[in-house]
Homo-oligomer: A and B are copies of this chain.
């Protein structure tokens, strides 16, 4: 079996990732807040949350969307950084004892395990704030677009986005959950930030409404498929491969527990097909994004 941690070089997305990631990782680190003089633990927690090895799927999606409309690289990179900071913040929050109470993430101790609960909470808030600062100050981007991207990112993580999804997930009664409920929960928890990533990347290049709509539909389907594969991998429970506590959701209702692996796999295939179809108006330019459904289908972690 091939080592999936090394990108295979023969697919459009893997080639794109290999080309875009080194500079993005540097920019991601450079945009972190300066060290906090009287609270070094806060700085370490912020760094841990962002710089621990991640798949960077959301920022890569933002960068790939930017390329479709020839966005200036610094403009799309600012959006991608903001998206990844928001994602890192949401992981730190979701892992808290009050939420999913997870002790490992990305192969390392969760942020609150390494740095304490209060520091994890503050690191998450600091990263959210930094995300909006970076988006508001994106270089080579008209102010009108910067303000719009801030608004879209804010909705994606707020009470109409990931906060709503996480709160609904915590409040859900597994015995009474419907497919519609689950889709709404995951549209918030995962879908909203994927959508903001593609839209933000495309807005950085001045995309028009038609392009934005195609990308939105793509991201909504891709995000949901990604979440279902997450549930399936969690239930299969290879903590070592996943780098985080698995089977934490086994007592909670999710796609995998509710519908079983076979129906879940079928739903994933349908969603990924819909994601690819959504891109058809964009033609060849969307080849990198169009390769992502394969990445999600094949993911092992």
Contacts and interface: CB of A to CB of B under 8 A. Distances in A.
Contact of A160 (B34, B153, B163, B166): B34
A20 interface: no
A119 interface: yes
Contact of A125 (B93, B122, B135, B136): B93
Interface string A9-47: 000000000000000000000000110111101110010
A118 interface: yes
26 contacts: A38-B164, A38-B167, A39-B164, A39-B168, A42-B163, A43-B159, A46-B159, A93-B121, A93-B122, A93-B125, A119-B167, A125-B163, A128-B128, A129-B159, A130-B158, A130-B159, A132-B154, A133-B154, A133-B155, A135-B150, A137-B151, A142-B143, A143-B144, A143-B146, A146-B147, A150-B150
Nearest to A36: B164
A148 B164 contact: no
A258 interface: no
A33 B159 contact: yes
Contact of A171 (B41, B129, B155, B171): B41
A147 B154 contact: no
A219 interface: no
A217 interface: no
Interface of A: 33-34, 36-39, 41-43, 46, 89, 93, 96, 98-99, 116-119, 121-126, 128-130, 132-133, 135-137, 142-144, 146-148, 150-151, 153-155, 157-161, 163-164, 166-168, 170-172, 181, 184-185
Q: Count copies of this chain in the complex.
A: 2
Given A133-B151, A143-B143, 12 more contacts: A36-B159, A36-B164, A39-B170, A42-B159, A93-B125, A98-B121, A125-B163, A126-B163, A129-B154, A133-B155, A135-B150, A147-B150
B99 A121 contact: yes
Nearest to A158: B129
The 8 closest A-B pairs by CB, nearest first: A129-B158, A39-B167, A33-B159, A38-B168, A133-B154, A98-B117, A136-B150, A143-B143
